[in-house]
Chain A
Amino acid sequence: MIVFDNVTITFGNGTQALSAVSFAIGVGEFVVVEGHSGAGKTSLMRAVIKDLPISQGKIVIEGDDLAKISPKNLPLLRRKISVVFQDFKLLMDRTVAENIDLALDIIGLEGETIKKRRNELLDLTGLNDKEDYFPVQLSGGESQRVAIARALASEPKVLFADEPTGNLDAKTGMSIIKLLQDINEAGTTVVMATHDLELVKDLKLRRLRLEKGTLVHDSGASHHVK
């Protein structure tokens, strides 16, 4: 479903964010991309939604070469592959409900359908009583849940979560991972980037380990690809 083929990302100043990274992720997998800060996790996620250009190699998503996706079709890619950002990227002047509605409006839903779908997402993420809150009134965990709800609005095939437990305490972090597992069990492929190795050490999940932009370990390798 997602194939990284010798992907290298080099910044303008010569720094290599990713260096000849190759792996494949199959439909319905839950993959953890682990590594310390600066390992290349965020660059990898940004590259998947074409927010960061790759210097070499190829990324293929559902058989389509990312390089061949035109700017006009980019929004469709970004609805198919949603990202939960490390800094949430919630619109601060809009309530929880409005943040979710925005994503639903973008995919062309209207009126009652938006309301119904929003309630489903609020149910799923446990935010029913927070829909009229503004992001500044939410805790880190709640903000993360809003970001997840918004990312799920377009019913993506793949959900990338960049450090979803990054600023959370262990208990809240585990609840977010549980939520991501529920989403994965419902059929969505989930890729989670984290530097918190302790938090995920007991989880029986496929792990990709990045160090200084290089993929040094893949616990699942190719047999996971369906």
Chain B
Amino acid sequence: MSNKNTVLKHIRRSPYQSLAAIFITAVTFFIVSVFALVVLGAYSMLGYFESRPQVTAFFKDDFAIANVESMKSDISNAVSVDAVRYISKDDALEIYKKQNSDNPLLLEMVTADILPASLEVSAKNVKDLETIAGIMQKNASVEEVVFQKDVIDTLRKWVSGVRITGIVLSSLLIFASLTTIIVILGLKFSARKIEIKTLSLIGATSWYIRGPFVSEGIIYAVTGAVLGWGSGYLALLYLTPNIINFLQEIILLPVPVWVMMTMLGSEIALACIIGALASLIATRRYGQ
């Protein structure tokens, strides 16, 4: 009986144990896929913001337009500027109306008077944002300065948090998968001790005996990885319209196929390591 047949026989004989091993690895790889996609998306968002370094100064109601012009020249003299855009109160209202066109109640309550005029300055380099913000803040007409460094810093912290959470959670789940496969294969190995002893006595090598168990462990882990990745991909496809709507002009989706395939390949490779490691530990531990 070939190694392949032996493995399939082992799996068929204890379907619930096999299902348990596949289920826990599928959950693990689903979580790994989700966190990988979230972190990849967050890095893309960071890239988006970093490629568009922008500072916005909101003016007080009694500001003078001459101040805006002097601020523009101060900034241009200090750093390399990509674009400067003055947004008057009326322009701000137009933007507001556009953004809230589907909510008439909000539109009724707002007039140009309550919206501040602003100056948006895009720098060529993200490092210049602080200099620009400093010049703006020194101007007496400016009430508030918002610049993307804050957004980027916040996003960086958030990405770092998500990444750490993902790594910790994934590590715990990988450990759970590993131990589940170890226990399941260990039980199977113990249950076949007489057969294994016989094989050993008639001249089977250690690898001949352990090989089918190692293959079995890899099959469990790889099946779980493919199912977990597939579930993650389906969830992403299902949520794509909502995510696009939420992110508006930040284009992250659809995720390129090559990214998903690379993720699948990496997860299969990781699954092979988990399956092989678990089965080697199980056969060594329970084979003694």
Contacts and interface: CB of A to CB of B under 8 A. Distances in A.
B114 interface: no
B208 interface: yes
A88 to B, nearest CB: 10
B203 A79 contact: yes
Contact of B203 (A72, A85, A91, A154): A154
B215 to A, nearest CB: 15
Contact of A82 (B202, B204, B206): B202
Contacts of B205: 75, 106
Nearest to B2: A105
Nearest to B204: A106
Which secondary structure dominates chain A's binding surface?
Answer: helix
A79 B202 CA distance: 7
A177 interface: no
Contacts of B195: 91
A89 B201 CA distance: 10
Range class of the A interface residue count: 20 to 34
B1 A94 contact: yes
A107 interface: yes
B1 A103 contact: no
Given A91-B195, A106-B208, A151 B202 contact: yes
Contacts of A151: 202
Nearest to A107: B203
B210 to A, nearest CB: 13
A146 to B, nearest CB: 12
B1 A78 contact: no
B281 to A, nearest CB: 19
B244 interface: no
A94 B204 CA distance: 17
Nearest to B208: A106
A91 B202 contact: no
A130 B205 CA distance: 28
B201 A85 contact: yes
A71 B205 CA distance: 9
Interface in A74-122: 75-76, 78-79, 82-83, 85, 89, 91, 94, 98, 101-103, 105-107
Contacts of A150: 202
B100 interface: no
B205 to A, nearest CB: 5
Given A91-B195, A101-B1, A78 B201 contact: yes
A148 interface: no
Interface string A48-60: 0101000000000
A147 B65 CA distance: 104
Contacts of A78: 200-203
Interface of A: 49, 51, 71-72, 75-76, 78-79, 82-83, 85, 89, 91, 94, 98, 101-103, 105-107, 150-151, 153-154
Given A78-B200, A154-B202, 4 more contacts: A49-B201, A71-B206, A72-B206, A106-B204
Query: Across chains A and B, which 4 residue pairs bring their CB atoms closest together, nearest first?
Result: A79-B203, A78-B203, A89-B198, A75-B203
20 contacts: A49-B201, A72-B206, A75-B204, A75-B206, A78-B201, A79-B203, A83-B201, A85-B201, A89-B197, A94-B1, A101-B1, A102-B199, A102-B202, A103-B202, A105-B1, A106-B199, A106-B203, A106-B205, A106-B208, A153-B202
